[in-house]
Structure formats: C-alpha cells, structure tokens
Amino acid sequence: MKFNTKAIHGGQHHDPSTGAVMPPVYQTSTFVQTSPGKPLNPDYEYSRAANPTRSALENALASIENGTRGLAFSSGLAATDCLLRSFKSGDEIIAMDDLYGGTYRMFTRIYKDSGIKFHFVDMNDMEKFQSLINENTKLVWVETPTNPLMKLADIQEIAKITKEKKILFAVDNTFATPYLQKPLDLGADVVMHSATKYLGGHSDVIAGALIVKDEALGEQLHFQQFATGATLGPMDSFLVLRGIKTLHLRVQRHCENGEKVVEFLDNHPKIKRVYYPGLPSHPYHEIAKKQMSGFGGMVSFTFASGKKEDAIKFLENLKVFTLAESLGGVESLANHPALMTHASIPEEKRKEIGITDDLVRLSVGIEDAEDLIEDLKQALA
C-alpha cells in the first residue's frame, strides 16, 4: 500500500463480531476466561496488557511508520519514559541540543539521579558527536526537525554510525509525521511520537507512541509498558486512530499553508529571521530535501527589534491564531517558547542554543491561508 491508503487501511480489520468498519471502543477493564488462565480470546486478559481498540491503533502506527510493532501510551513523555527504562546506571545517552522542553526536563531532572549520563550536542557537528561515543553509550536521541528552532539531523548518516557501534537510535518524528519522513526506513531503530499533535490532529486527546523495527525490542518495550502502566485508554485510542485516517490530507494542507505563511513572514520588515526547513536560506535545507517529502506546518521566527515585549504584544493581538501550548491540530496556534513550552529549560541553556526571548513558534493550521496571513499582518501592525 502507498501511504494514503495505509493511513486508512494499514493494519486494520473490520470488527469480526459485527462487521463494524471502525473498531468499537472496547470500554472494558477485563475479559472473560473460560477456565482459570484460559481467556476466551488469548490476546486479551486485562486492558493494561492489551485492549482491542488500542491494538487497532498500535497496528496502524506500525503500518504508517513501516515498523514491526507500535505501542500507544498515555502521553509522548510516557512513551519516552518507557524507552529510557531500558537503561541503567553507568549508561550514557547522546541527545540533540535543541529538544522539546518536556524531554529535556525528563532527561536532566527525572533521570539525573539514576546514574545515566546525558550529553547534548549539535548533531550536525559529526566530529563532536562521534567524540562523545564510548563503550557506555547506549542511545542516541534525535528530534528532526527540532522544537522550536527547526534544526535538522541527517538520519541516514547518524544511523551508519549507530549501527557500526551497535547503539540504539531513536527519532522523535512528531514535527515531520510519517507522511513527510520515515526514520525507520532511514536507519533508526525507534520512532517516538507525541500523538497528541499531528497524529491525533484535533487538539482533543493526549497520547504518545513508540514504533520499532526489531520485534524483540518491541516485546521488551511492551513488557515495560505493561509493568509500569502508562497505557492509552480505549476512547483516546479511538480518537488517535480516527485522526490517523485523515493525516495525509491534513499534513498536506499544513505544508501548503506553512509555505505561504513563511513567504509572508520572510518578507516582512519587522521580522528578523524565519526558521523553516523549506527556506533555501535554512542551514539544513539540503538535509530536509533529502529525507523529507515536504516541509511541514511548524514555523518559528524572531523580531527585528529583538524585544521580548514585541513578541508578547504580537501574541496578545492575534485573532485567528490561538495563543496556546501544543501544536499539530487543525487550528493554528501560536506560542512563546521561552515563557511556555520551553520554560523548564534554564535561561542560560536557552540562550546557548538560540531560544531567545523574542522567539515565536507557530503551528500553522488548515484554515484559509489568506485569513492566517491577514491575522499575522494585523498583529504585526
């Protein structure tokens, strides 16, 4: 199947008992057994281990990312946490220097006393990256494009190194989505999604996902998920699965609108710099062209004045864009990373990686592009 067909049919089956086209919401905690230890259906005993609605979503996740197994979690951070539970004191993890604030917070504050050592590096500095690898390195963690500076990492080039060194390689594919980028096909071992964002797509659910190539790793992660309990409920699973069925249509429009918004911002006298991988001026534009089929709907920019006050005033005056955290929904959202999504990153670290106080991040939705541009125009005025 090609992607558009996979998004609707991949890994999916009509309900065997009723013929329902969409999987029912199996709102049950447990399943009947015909004799002790003999469930009526061998796949289902207790919903923390497996639930038919969640299974339908997990099959769809594996299909659209070309993986062997998908796992659905109660949030993107729960998915990340499940993967990190694979490591122990003395292990080392190399991560991208520009990360979602919640990921950075988990790495540096939750796991800081576990004995796991984290290194944060620009993944385009291959010499620096390789210098950090040693016998204790167990995981490389990458976002591409990154949140919020839209940095990219060459997945294929990193995968060559991790395979040679036998290091696990995970990619947060939330911004790109599997419609635009396939990390597993490019050599990664694990893909993570905050399914709250583009996969769900309607700002009505919190969810996360892991998708893997190796079946043994998938089984290990499923055990960790089962044993720690951060599973996705059946109603939320249904909502994400419904969102996936229109993912290709929505992301196509996100890309179209994103490019129009970027063209407007890039030519506006009050804007200093626009961060968008589709711009030829973007430092990693060639990587984006190589590993992505489109450039997405996420855009960040700074002001010519460099003033935090101008960013705040702009955000307060938006009328179509909604000032809120999160991204990837059908509606356009605007965010101030330093005060909102990345406030948990220390100020000196934010400045070091380039998250300035005048930086604004936009999640460009699927409204009429002309209305979005008019809104930006009046807010800038």
Interhelix angle 369-380/308-317, rounded to 10 degrees, is 130
Q: What is the DSSP letter of 367?
A: S
Q: Quick check: is 48 catalytic?
A: yes
Is 140:170 a contact under the CB 8 Å cutoff?
yes
As a whole number of angstroms, the longest Cα–Cα distance in the chain is: 74
Q: Which of 40, 67, 42, 70 is nearest to 56 (CA)?
A: 70
Active-site residue identified among 81, 98, 172, 236: 172
Q: Quick check: is 197 catalytic?
A: yes
Q: Quick check: is 189 catalytic?
A: no
Is 28:49 a contact under the CB 8 Å cutoff?
no
- The CA distance from 208 to 230, in Å, is 10
Active-site residue identified among 197, 213, 250, 350: 197
* DSSP codes of every residue in 3-26: HHHHHHHTT----TTT--SSPP--
The sign of the CA dihedral 155, 170, 127, 134 is negative
Q: Quick check: is 172 catalytic?
A: yes
Cβ within 8 Å of residue 184, ≥6 positions away: 65, 66, 67, 191, 211, 212, 213
How buried is 273 (Cβ within 10 angstroms: 0-12 exposed, 13-18 middle, 19+ buried)? middle
Strands (E), 205-363: 208-212, 271-275, 298-303, 322-323, 333-335, 360-363
Active-site residue identified among 26, 44, 69, 100: 100
Active-site residue identified among 15, 48, 117, 253: 48
CA 154 to chain centre: 17
Q: What is the DSSP letter of 231?
A: B
Which positions are annotated as active-site residues? 48, 100, 172, 197
